[in-house]
Amino acid sequence: MTFRGIAPTGRPLIIPVFITHRGCTHRCAFCDQEAIAGAGSLPDAVPGIVEKYIGWSSGDRPVELSFYGGSFTALPVRELSEYLQVGKDLIARKIVGSLRCSTRPDTINTGMAKLLKTSGFAVVELGAQTMSDRLLTEMERGHTADDTRQAVKDLKEAGLSVVLQFMTGYPDETPQDVATTCRALIAARPDAIRIYPFMPLAGTKISQRLQCNEARFDPVAAIDRAADIFLAAQEAGIPTIRIGLPKDGIVVSPYPDNLAQVVVAEALAKLAKRGEREFILPAAWETSVAIARKSGRFPADAKVVYL
Ligand code: SF4
Q: At residue 297, does pLDDT exceed 90?
A: yes
Measured between alpha carbons, how far is 200 from 206 in angstroms, rounded to an integer?
7
Of 68, 104, 166, 194, which is best to mutate to test ligand 1, by the most ligand atoms within 8 angstroms of its C-beta?
A: 104
Cβ atoms of 120 and 87 closer than 8 Å: yes
Q: What is the mean pLDDT of residues 210-233?
A: 97
Q: At residue 72, does pLDDT exceed 80?
A: yes
pLDDT tens figures, 80-90: 999 999 999 99
Torsion sign over Cα 25, 143, 110, 153 = positive
pLDDT tens figures, 47-60: 999 999 887 775 77
Q: At residue 37, does pLDDT exceed 80?
A: no
Measured by CA distance, the residue closest to atom 5 of ligand 1 is 27
27 lines ligand 1 (CB under 6 A): yes
Measured by CA distance, the residue closest to atom 7 of ligand 1 is 70
DSSP-assigned letters across all residues of 273-296: HTT--EEEE-GGGHHHHHHHHHTT
User: Phi/psi at 86 (nearest 5 deg)?
Assistant: -60, -45
Higher pLDDT, 7 or 92: 92
Q: At residue 247, does pLDDT exceed 70?
A: no
Q: At residue 10, does pLDDT exceed 80?
A: no
105 lines ligand 1 (CB under 6 A): no
Measured by CA distance, the residue closest to atom 8 of ligand 1 is 24
Torsion sign over Cα 82, 83, 87, 90 = positive
What pLDDT, on a 0 to 100 scale, did the predictor assign at position 262? 97
96 lines ligand 1 (CB under 6 A): no
| Host H or E run for residue 162 | strand 161-168
Measured by CA distance, the residue closest to atom 2 of ligand 1 is 70
Q: What is the mean pLDDT of residues 24-36?
A: 86
Measured between alpha carbons, how far is 284 from 304 in angstroms, rounded to an integer?
13
Q: What is the mean pLDDT of residues 63-76?
A: 95
Q: How many CB atoms lie within 10 A of CB 32?
A: 18
Beta sheet of 63-68, edge-to-edge order: 13-18, 63-68, 98-103, 121-129, 161-168, 192-197, 240-243
The angle formed by the CA atoms of residues 280, 130 and 23, to the nearest 5 degrees, is 115
41 lines ligand 1 (CB under 6 A): no
Distance in Å, CA 125 to ligand 1 centroid:
13
CA distances from 167 to 48, 129, 189, 245 (A): 32, 5, 17, 10
What pLDDT, on a 0 to 100 scale, did the predictor assign at position 233? 97
Measured between alpha carbons, how far is 214 from 43 in angstroms, rounded to an integer?
41
71 lines ligand 1 (CB under 6 A): yes
Using left for φ > 0, alpha for ψ between -120 and 50, and beta otherwise, residue 16 falls in beta
What pLDDT, on a 0 to 100 scale, did the predictor assign at position 6? 59
What pLDDT, on a 0 to 100 scale, did the predictor assign at position 11? 75
Domains and CATH numbers, the chain: 13-255 (3.20.20.70), 259-307 (no CATH)
Measured by CA distance, the residue closest to atom 6 of ligand 1 is 31
* Whole-structure pTM value: 0.94
Measured between alpha carbons, how far is 98 from 54 in angstroms, rounded to an integer?
14
43 lines ligand 1 (CB under 6 A): no
What pLDDT, on a 0 to 100 scale, did the predictor assign at position 7? 54
Measured by CA distance, the residue closest to atom 4 of ligand 1 is 28
Measured between alpha carbons, how far is 149 from 133 in angstroms, rounded to an integer?
12
pLDDT tens figures, 260-289: 999 999 999 999 999 999 999 988 889 999
Q: Among residues of the chain, what percentage have pLDDT more than 70?
A: 95
Q: What is the mean pLDDT of the chain?
A: 92
DSSP-assigned letters across all residues of 115-141: HHHHTTEEEEEEEEE-S-HHHHHHTT-
